[in-house]
Every structure is written in C-alpha cells, then in structure tokens.
Amino acid sequence: MAARTEEDTRVQDGSDLNLQDQPRRWRYHAFAIAVGCLMVLLGATVLAGWLLQIKLIISVVPDFPSMAFNTALCFMLSGAGLVASTLAARRFLATAAITTGLAAAIAAARLVEIITLGRTFHNVDVLVSQFLIPPDFMAQIGGGMGPNTALIFLIANLSLLLSLRAGRSKSQVVQELTSYIVITLGMIALAGYVTDAEQGYRWGVYAAMALHTAVGVVAFGSGLLARSWLMQPANRAQIPLWVPAAVCFTGLLVDLYTPLGVANGILYVPLVLTALWFGNRNAPLFFAFACTVLLMLGFFAVKHDEAAFWQEIANRAITAATLWLIAILIFYFMRNTHHLENERVRFGALVRSTPDAVIVIDERGTIASFNPAAESMFGYSPQETIGRNIKMLMPEPYHSEHDGYLTHYLQTGEERIIGKTRMVSGRRKNGIVFPIDVSISAVITGYTKTFVGIVRDISERVRQEERMKTTLAQLEAYTADLERSNHDLDEFAYIASHDLKEPLRGLHNHSRFLLEDYEDKLDPDGVRRLNRLVRLSQRMEKLVNDLLYFSRLGRQQLAVKRTDISLIVKDVVATMELLLEERHAKVIIDGRLPEVICDAPRLTEVFRNLITNAIKYNDKPAPLVSIGYLDRYVGEDGTVARNVFFVKDNGKGIPEEFHEDIFRIFKRLEKSQDSEDGTGAGLTFVRKIIARHNGDIWLESEVGAGTTFYFTLGKKREGQNAAA
C-alpha cells in the first residue's frame, strides 16, 4: 500500500480533530442558544410589564432604575439574532441580519439623540411605545435607554452583524473582543448596584442602566463569547465561561472596597493567566485590555481622598503595566507553544506517513512510539508494544545482547551503532526472522536521552543480492567457458594456418608439376581440369586466410592514436595506382578530412576495401570515387548522425534488398570470374573494424546511379545500433 501524502495526512488529522471537537462545539452552541432565548424571555417579560403597567417587572426593586421600553425591545431583537446566527440555514442568517440590524439602529439613534439633544429628550424611546403605553404611565416611570446601554447594544449587534458578513477569522476575533467589553461594562453596572456606587450603572446625568438590564448585558456578552468560540477552530477555549466572568466581578468588587486599589491587581493576574487555557493566543492581550478597563472604571467609580489621589494613579498605572507585561509574556509563550504544537503535528504526520518503521525508546529500552509502518512490518499493534522492551522485536543473539549494549552506552558514552546504519535481524509477531537495516540516533532533552530508530525491511534487497551472487557465479562460469573457447579458437587458428594450409599447398604444387611435366601428354580436357584445380586451391587458401583474419579481428587490441584521415586516403590511392590506370578510375577528396583517434592500419583497410569495391563493381567507362566528411547527416528515414565519413561512387548501385547481405562473410552478389577476385569478406571486415571503433556503417544506393557508404567512428547514429 502506498504511503499517504502529507496532504492526505493533514486532512485525516483535521477530521480527527473535528470529531474530537464536536462535544465542545455542542456545548457552546447550546449555551449561545440558551442565552439568546433568555434574552428574548427577558425582553418579552419587561415588554409585558410595560403593556400591563406592572412596575415590579420594569424596575425589579422599588426606587431602582427601570428598563426602558426600547431596551426590552433590543433584548428581544438581539436575543433572536444571537439564536438565529448560530443556525446554518440561509433563512436564519437573514433573520439574524434583520434583527441585529434593527437593534443596532435603535441603539445608534438613541446615542445620536443623547449626544445632540441632551438628557431631557426621549423621542426615540417614545416613538413606538406612545402607541401602546398610556402617556401618564410613561411619565410616571420616566427615564429611558441609558448611554451605556445604548453603546453596549450598538457595538454588540454590529460585531454580530459583522460576523455574519465578513471573513470568519477576523470577524470572530472582533466579536470575541467585543464580548469582553460587553461583559466588563455589565459587571461594572452590577458592581455599582452591589457597592451602592451609582457611577457604575449611571454615566453622568443621563438615564441609568437597570439592574436586570445589567444582568441581561452580562448574559449577552457571554452568549457572544460562546458564539465566537463556537465559530473558531478546535482547542481555542478550554475553561468554563463563568471563570473569567467571576474573576472580573470579584476583582471589581475588591477594587471598589480596597484602599488605593492594591489588592485588585493581585486578583486580575489570575484573570490574565486564565488565557493559558484558551487556544486563542491573543486571549491574554484581550484579558489585559479588559482588566485595564476595570482598573480605570474602578478608579472613577469612587471618590478619592485628595492626598492619596496621585498615589492611587501611580499604583494603578504600575498595576496596569504589570498586567500588560504578564499578558505579553503569556502571548509569546502561547505563540511558541503553538509553533511547537504545529511542529509536533507535522512531525507526527511525517512519522505516520513514512514507509520506514520509526520506533522510539527510552533509556531503559522501553518502547514509547510505534508508527503504522512498524505495525505493518512487525505485525504488532501499538497497544501490544508501547511500554514493553524493544527486545521483543529481536531474535537471538541481539535479544540477549541489547540490554548490555544500552547499559554500556549510558555508562561510557561509547557509540557502536548510534548514528550508523547497521544490518541486523528482526522478529515478527508470528516468529519469522527477517533482515533489516537499522539507523539509530540519540536525542538528548535535559538529562533524558531518547533513542529514535528508523527500521527498513531489506528482505527483497537480500533476495536480490543472493540472486546477484548466483548470477555473478554463472557469469564467472560463462567467462571461464568463453576463455576456454577463445583458447580453443586460437588453437584452431594455429592448426588451420599450418596444418590445413600444408595439404592445400601440396595440391597446388602437384597440380603445377603435372601441368609443367605432362601438359603435352594430356588431352585438352585434362589440362583444363588441372588448371581448375590450381585455381580452386588458390581460392581455398584465400578463404582460409580471410577466415583466420576475421576470427582474430575481434580479439586483437586496437593501436589507437591521432591520425590524419586525408593521409590515409592518399596512401591507399597511391597503392592502387595500377588498378586506377587499368580501369580509368579517379579518386577525389571532397572537402577537408579531419584528424581522428583511431587504429590507422585498420582504418586504411576500411578505405582500401570501400574504394576497391567502388572501382571493381562499376560499369561506367570512367569510374569516379568521392571521399568526404559531414559534420551532420540526416538520412532519408529521419535518422541523424554527426561526424560522418562517406565513400561515394557512380557505379551499378545495390538493390535495397541486398543492403544487409553484402556485409555477410563470403557473401557475393556476383560470381567470381578468376582467382584474383576477392572472397566476399571485405565488407564484413569493414563493418567489424568500424564496430571495434564503436562506430556504425550504412549505405544509400540507387541502381544504375551509384552507391554511397557512410560510417562513423566512436558515435552511432541516433536510434540505430551498430552490428558487430
């Protein structure tokens, strides 16, 4: 089975994380829906109190600020939007956009009214309620939506609306930060009620935030926080929602009752430290921001003694700086942890997907990690191996020697196989012993040493090596047979060159003696037969000589050196002067012939054979032979060659069906007319010599027009093989 790619492994890891993350997501989903439903219930209850004119529902406690009609309406709209935003269907998202947009519009209009017209105008509050609520009851309750309440509904609903339309990653961070601000402002208002500090729930001379409004605001912020965590990846928030809220609330209470705000800094430190349990590495910065807001609001919520005013300012500045310092340290710690976790995941994916077995052991030889490739190789599951000694995977003698080697290494530090690849044997679960390559490295972390072994099954390689050894033994036997055959061939050549020629010479000589002594006594037919016997014995001797030459041609070493080809051609033409005069033939050199590294005597024989054939088998009154050189040759069949020599004649031409036959030994296209004719081995010698030079020879011919022989030295034509 092919190893999974890194992308496949990443997808698989993501699927596993999603499965593990389902319980967390269900919890946050349920919490966000529950908060949204409670907000709708709260808003509906207060609206019912307005419609039924029940003051207890509107104010909760007599003489406490009341929840405005529009505030209750915003709770209903915001709660419905929060619930709808957690549902995936398009119609629910559209509902969330409409409801949160209406709530944000009401809050924005109220803020604009407060900023432009002041505290005595409540046009936005009475715009809808005047048609449903009697004016005298409205005048009796008084008040309206406070600026702090309007600000909370505006930023909270805008962040919720943004998360529906903008990119998920950025919008969820904005929503998370907004939720912290909303929770903080709500808790400040609650702390104001607990400590009887009106500045906590009333900003300036404007309408105050009601007690149940503050509770609803804290719930709204918690719902927004749960929704932001719901939309974020796994491992983001791993602590209960009430923990940061409780710390914030306690810190603010202590802040309001502690002289100079000394103790609150100690309590805010745990709030920042809770960021360690959050997957979002920006969480400590968010918490530091929230704590800074709490510090500032705690300072302005109470009256200060003039003598200690600047001392408390300095104390709070130092506290805020300390909190931010801790937050920054936690931020960098979480960032480094995040990078290490990513590296761990990548390393785990690499170990799982590698085709080699990766086994990790501790100093005692106990298996700590066993990857899938090791499972497949040894047949054990990780549950069967992890926690047990690595010896279980070893046959003897490695099984008995392993602990001693490990102890020796830990005591002396002497490395025998650490950092090296060694071939040993492994033992599968079924008891089968097989060869393996093991590479072990030591990883030192502090005072602990861990050993990582990479194991590769080399059973197939060992089998191939055994087959290779068998093949080499066969080749050695074949080589010995070939050497013996060559020796026998040399002996045959010696016998043929001496013993076979001796009777041939005897036949030739006795035939000549008979002709000289008894020619006048024999009839014409007897003389003709004796002459025929002389010619046949001469031809037989030539055939024997050519056969011996051919047998030695492939075994003799070439005496190569740099040679001027034009000098070879001129030397061949000079030795053929008589033949050229008899046949009225002419040999010309077409262009420049280069110098090449070759065996000059053998190449001389090549040109002599080709030129001789071009003249002898020429039916023109003035045979013409042209010798030249081409840097690049392109054949009729598209084959390409470089550095090509050619010998061209204007003779009879050779039919295409005989282009291969002419290179066979003793193959002649025309019958011999006399004993001076060749044996038909010349072109065979030519091909053999060129093949010994790692070259190729071929021809192009047109019957009646002539033939051109092409050959290379040292390079074959592309797509062609030289025949040896």
DSSP-based three-state secondary structure for 693: coil
Q: What is the DSSP letter of 432?
A: -
The structure tokens listed for 222 are: 């918690």
Q: Where are the alpha helices (DSSP H) in 626-700?
A: 682-692
Q: What is the pLDDT of residue 408?
A: 66
CA distance 123 to 362: 76
Q: What mean pLDDT do residues 23-34 have?
A: 83
Residue 499 DSSP code: I
Q: Collapsing DSSP states into helix, strand and coil, what is residue 541?
A: helix
Residue 519 has pLDDT above 70, yes or no: yes
Give CA angle at 644 (642, 648), nearest 5°: 145
Helix (H, G, I), strand (E, B) or coil at 2: coil
Q: Is the pLDDT of residue 557 over 80?
A: no
pLDDT at 58 over 80: yes
Task: Look at residue 29 and tell me whether its pLDDT is greater than 90.
Answer: no
| Cβ-contact 603, 561 below 8 angstroms | no
Give pLDDT, residue 722: 35
In contact, 544 and 499? CB cutoff 8 Å = no
Q: What share of the chain is helix, strand, coil (3-state, %, to 5)?
A: 65, 15, 25
Among residues 78, 109, 114, 113, which one has the least CA distance to residue 96?
A: 78
Please tell me the distance from the alpha carbon of residue 232 to that of residue 141, in angstroms, as a whole number: 43
Confidence (pLDDT) at 13: 45
Distance (Å, whole) CA 335 – CA 225: 22
Question: Residue 38: its pLDDT value, please?
Answer: 95
170 CB neighbour count, 10 Å cutoff: 11
Give the C-alpha separation, 588 to 614, whole Å.
13
Do residues 230 and 86 make contact, with C-beta atoms less than 8 angstroms apart? yes
State mean pLDDT over 346-375: 83
Q: What is the dihedral of CA 306, 308, 313, 315, to 10 degrees?
A: -170
5 SS3 class: coil
Q: Domain 463-551 is of which CATH architecture?
A: Orthogonal Bundle (1.10)
pLDDT confidence of residue 549: 65
At 100 the pLDDT is: 92
Amino acid at 504: L
Q: Which amino acid is at 671?
A: K
- What's the pLDDT at 403? 65
What pLDDT is stored for residue 543 in this prediction?
66
Taking 70 as the threshold, does the pLDDT of residue 167 lie above it?
Answer: no
Who wins on pLDDT, 411 or 651? Answer: 651
**Closest of 551, 560, 635, 542 to residue 597, by C-alpha:** 560
All CATH 3.30.565.10 domain ranges of the chain, comma separated, are 557-712
Which residues share a beta bridge with 700? 708
What CA–CA distance (Å, rounded) separates 227 from 29?
Answer: 7
pLDDT top residue among 177 and 431:
431
Q: What phi and psi values does residue 434 have, to the nearest 5 degrees?
A: -140, 155
Q: How many CA atoms lie within 13 Å of 382's alpha carbon, on the beta-carbon side?
A: 12
Confidence class of residue 240 from pLDDT cuts 50, 70 and 90?
low
Name 587's Cβ contacts closer than 8 Å, sequence gap at least 6: 569, 573, 576, 580, 611, 625, 626, 627
Q: Please, what CATH class does the domain formed by 557-712 belong to?
A: alpha beta
For domain 353-461, the CATH superfamily is PAS domain (3.30.450.20)
**Residues of CATH 3.30.450.20 domain(s) within the chain?**
353-461
Q: Are strands 586-590 and 624-634 parallel, antiparallel or unpaired?
A: parallel
Residue 9 has what pLDDT?
A: 43
Q: What is the pLDDT of residues 629-668, one digit of tens each?
A: 998 888 777 788 888 999 999 988 888 887 887 877 655 5
The whole-angstrom separation of Cα 475 and Cα 485 is: 15
- Alpha-carbon distance of 580 to 486, in angstroms, equals 40
Return the pLDDT at 665: 62
The answer to which of 430-439, 545-554, 557-566, 599-608 has the lowest mean pLDDT is 545-554
Q: Do the beta carbons of residue 214 and residue 190 sit within 8 Å?
A: yes
Which phi and psi angles does 191 have, rounded to 5°? -65, -35
b (16+ CB within 10 A) / e for 635-657:
eeeeeebebbbbbbbbbbbbeee
The number of CA neighbours under 13 Å toward the Cβ of 203 is 18
pLDDT of residue 330: 84
**pLDDT recorded at residue 5:** 42
Tell me the pLDDT tens digit for each residue of 566-577. 998 998 888 888
Q: What is the pLDDT of residue 277?
A: 67
Note the pLDDT of residue 12: 43
Q: In this predicted structure, which of 5-14, 336-345, 349-358, 503-512 has the lowest mean pLDDT?
A: 5-14
Question: What does R_g of the chain's alpha carbons equal in angstroms?
Answer: 53
Question: How many other CB atoms are there within 10 angstroms of residue 342's CB atom?
Answer: 10
Length of the chain: 724
Q: Is 126 left (phi over 0), alpha (psi -120 to 50) or beta?
A: alpha
Is 269:248 a contact under the CB 8 Å cutoff? no
pLDDT the model gives residue 552:
61
Q: Residue 238 pLDDT more than 60?
A: no
The mean pLDDT of 200-227, rounded to a whole number, is 84
Specify the 3-state DSSP secondary structure of 366: strand
Q: Max Cα separation, the chain?
A: 173
The share of the chain scoring above pLDDT 90, in percent, equals: 11
pLDDT tens across 279-300, in order?
A: 677 778 887 887 787 777 667 6
Amino acid identity of 290? A
The pLDDT, as a whole number, for residue 265 is: 60
Say if residue 78's pLDDT is above 90: yes
pLDDT of residue 684: 82
Rounded alpha-carbon distances, angstroms, from residue 376 to 16, 382, 429: 22, 11, 10
pLDDT for residue 214 is more than 60: yes
Condensed to tens digits (0 to 9), the pLDDT of residues 112-134 reads: 888 787 655 566 666 766 667 77
Average pLDDT across the chain, whole number = 77
Structure tokens at 507: 């036949």
Alpha-carbon dihedral angle through residues 678, 684, 685, 687, given to the nearest 10 degrees: 140
Measured CA to CA, the distance from residue 722 to residue 705 in angstroms comes to 26
pLDDT computed for residue 284 by the predictor: 83
Q: Which letter, b or e, does each residue of 459-480 get, where b requires 16 or more Cβ atoms within 10 Å of its Cβ?
A: eeeeeeeeeeeeeeeeeeeeee
pLDDT of residue 553: 59
**Which pLDDT score, from 0 to 100, does residue 253 have?**
61
Q: Which of 563, 711, 561, 567 is nearest to 643 (CA)?
A: 711
Q: Where in the chain is the domain with CATH 1.10.287?
A: 463-551
